[in-house]
Structure 1
Amino acid sequence: MRREYKISPSVFAADLGSLKIQLAELENSHIELLHVDVMDGHFVERIAFGADHIRALKKMTKLPLDVHLMVQNPEVHLDAIIAAGADIITFHQEATTRHLSCLQKIRKAGIKAGIVLNPGTCEDSIKYLLDDIDMILLMTVNPGEGGQHFLTSVLEKIKRVHNLIGNRAIDLEVDGSIDNKTIKLCHEAGANVYVSGGYLFNGNISENIASLRQALAK
């Protein structure tokens, strides 16, 4: 089952000094989602964003907020993230043993819920959750580290997860070094949601979005 594609710019790569202008440009370009990375300095080395930032973003844009929790023990943070206004919440399989209870809590709040897999984590580990999720996010780099290259080895994993999803209404998202070349590879492998940060926000945002869409159209 091929679902409608969506581009999800990573606000972590935006120019915070010009954030309102850049958000308006994303809206004018009819972007589907806004990706928000929450990092705790434990699960990943970096620290970025939190519930207060999500709440502020919610006031600044009408774009649905695609919140990616790169935090240890996400169950501790869920109440605050839900209250802040997230529209989608994904958390890492590797960060907790309470997968099902986290997913159920998110969905009970009327929010879409998903699981994230690091490049080295086997997709078999989430087979039992497939009927309780709205999104699977596959990292195409190691999370929380800058300046990495796209891991082409993940392409086969995207294909396997796409087949695993079957006819379920689950979005398959990819995150890490997504540009106008790698987005096409991910699309062909079966992904339909694409997180782009450095590529999209470097230079002319509208032109970069058009370049991504053109790559998908081909």
Structure 2
Amino acid sequence: MLLCPSMMCADYGNLRSEVQELDAAGADMFHCDVMDGSFVPNIAMGLMDIKAVRSATEKPIDCHLMIEHPARSINLFLDAGVDLIYIHPESERYCVKTLAAIRDGGAKAGIAINPDTSIPSIEELLNVVDYVMVMTVSPGFAGQAFIEFTKDKIARLAELKHRYGFTLTVDGACSPERIAELSGLGADGFILGTSALFGKGDYAQSIKALRALHA
């Protein structure tokens, strides 16, 4: 089970030490949310923030691009040393081309699926992705309530991952109880925010407890 701390929730006054502590605690991948104030109404995590995370760990870093026309910015994130880039199908006219550019640049390619995005509308893209991330909240803000009907989408994608070969992750209100439930449905990894990790005490103890849910 992949456990990926959402660095949007970290203490930015001590970002380097936060990354190092999470790394030592057993985090698998560092999740960086990038928002442009247009595709979503919030603004978060700039390129320099991502470079700061990169300089503090050798673990993989993923970028969730909640921005318009991500193809224009892909090379900036590739040059920053990002290992996985998620885009939203609604943000780009030629998604297949953009996903290919991510792979050609040496990173893994992923799509993020909003609660109101149907599986049939994105199924063709499953041929050209390495990761699929299901949003169980509307993108753009931390601390939202879990949207129940997204569980059906996770279960369906868990069936499709065996056909297409992608890794299935979940982002949004991932509490320990949800992680236990959704891993049982076939989710491979979780983005960890304030529901399961940040503000919950010692990172190592929290991550150890979350891993035990998948035992």
Match of 1:201 among 189, 198, 201: 198
Pick one of 172, 179, 185 that aligns with 2:175: 179
Instruction: Confirm whether residue 151 of structure 1 aligns to residue 147 of structure 2.
Output: yes
Structure 2, unpaired ranges of 5+? none
Q: How many angstroms does 1:57 deviate by? A: 1.6
Identity %: 36
> Contact conserved, 2:142 with 2:193, CA < 8 A, in 1?
no
Aligned positions of 1:123-138 closer than 5 A: 123-138=119-134
1:86 Cα deviation (Å)? 0.7
CA-CA distance at 1:180 after TM superposition: 0.8
How many residues are paired up? 213
**TM-score normalised by length of structure 1:** 0.93
Higher mean C-alpha deviation, range 34-43 or range 90-99: 90-99
- The question of whether the paired residues in 2 share the 8 Å contact of 1:139 and 1:176 is answered with yes
Q: Which residue of 1 aligns with 2:38?
A: 42
Unpaired runs of at least 5, structure 1: none
Equivalent positions of 1:1-218 (< 5 A) are: 5-198=1-194, 199-202=196-199, 203-217=201-215
User: Could you tell me which amino acid in structure 1 is paired with residue 24 of structure 2?
Assistant: N
Q: Which moved more, 1:111-120 or 1:145-154?
A: 145-154
- Cα distance in 1 for residues equivalent to 2:94 and 2:136: 24
Cα offset, 1:16, TM superposition: 1.2
Structure 1 residue 30: Cα displacement: 2.2
Q: Deviation per CA, 1:138-180, whole angstroms, max 9, x where unpaired? A: 0010111233111121111101111122243311010001121
